[in-house]
Amino acid sequence: MSAISNHFFTHFNYNPSLAVQSPGRINLIGEHTDYNNGFVLPAAIDKYVQVAIGKRTDGNIHMAAIDLNKIATVSIQNLKPHSSQWVNYIIGVVYQAIHTIASSKNHNSTQLEAINKGFDICIKGNIPSGAGLSSSAAVECAVLFAINELYELQFTKMEMALMAQKAENDFAGVQCGLMDMFASIHGQKNKVILLDCASLDFHYYPLDLTDYSIVLFDTQIKHALASSEYNTRRQECEQGVQRIQQMHPLVKTLRDVTMEQVETYLGPSTDTPPNIYKRCKYMVAEILRVQAAVKDLEVGAMQAFGKKMFETHEGLSKMYEVSCPELDFLVEAVKDNENVIGARMMGAGFGGCTINIIKKAALDAVTQKVAASYAKQTNKELVVYVNSIEEGTHLIK
């Protein structure tokens, strides 16, 4: 039995029906593009959440969070946002599953009756908290995948990803995009996924990391600006679109905008506030950059791919202005190192991690040098995570 199944037995005194592992994710390139209907390039990683589950008959959900050393019980007939956030990541997707089944024209009353009897669930993971690796999405996908298997609900992976996103929006109160859940559930070993956030079409690309490692440098910092500035960036992008729409009514998002239109309608010769111009210029460039980056992967041009990562960071720092001194320092520290082919800040910004592609042979030397420089500069320890690209959400023994 797996370790999570053993934990389940300890808590509930019977063996689980099944166990599931669901990974965290990284995003190689394509930052802040999701809410502009652009492209992202995520992958599932070797940090994960595991759940074990078994059926009940009394209409309750009994939950045990091993890492938090906490338990909770709720009635499945009365699912609503809970005062404990960890509980919301579990019950939010259960609510979405029940609602989806019940609202289907051909809904299966047998499935609904079975899931309404409740279940026991045990959860444990090793995704570092606060590193921007989407532990919440991994929890949601693990739980949803588990109940999908347990009750034979026959949801597709995309349906589950969309339900998990809605659960995060409605129960956890985080207005996130689809990327985190999509990557967690769709991941494939040694492949990245180009997701079109407008059509939800996606395509796998091989990531040949034979000589390289994907390494995260965690600043151990999260500036308070992150959430408010995130909302501001969304508004600035929308304001840019509204200005361009006056001349081009068919434009719906920055995905539809050319760089020529940015310069013509938002540029320095117009009355557009400079911030709106800069945000939109970065965004249009980044959407194009992701499409060019996957062509590099197709031909194994890792150096060219890495150069685009540095360009993305420059745009995020100078044009989109969501970086911070610590993130900039870490990217600058590796910019001229021949053993680092690409680096940039990853995630919403104002702290968190940089993502780096580093030659395996020089990994120890590079990380030691950067860690020493970072400690001297900030008086903080640099936390380093070396990642491999692994399978998405799946059953485990």
Domain ranges of the chain: 3-207+391-396, 212-387
CATH architecture of 3-207+391-396: 2-Layer Sandwich (3.30)
Closest residue by Cα to residue 142 from 55, 76, 51: 51
For 352, phi then psi, to 5°, come to 90, -140
Which residues of the chain register pLDDT less than 50?
none
Active site residues: 180
**Cβ neighbourhood burial of 33 (10 Å; 0-12, 13-18, 19+):** buried
Q: Beta partners for 212?
A: 359
CA distance 376 to 236: 36
- Predicted confidence at residue 174, as pLDDT, reads 75
CA distance 133 to 260: 35
CA distance 248 to 237: 16
Amino acid, single-letter form, for residue 363:
L
Q: Which fold has domain 212-387?
A: Alpha-Beta Plaits (3.30.70)
Closest residue by Cα to residue 141 from 20, 257, 259: 20
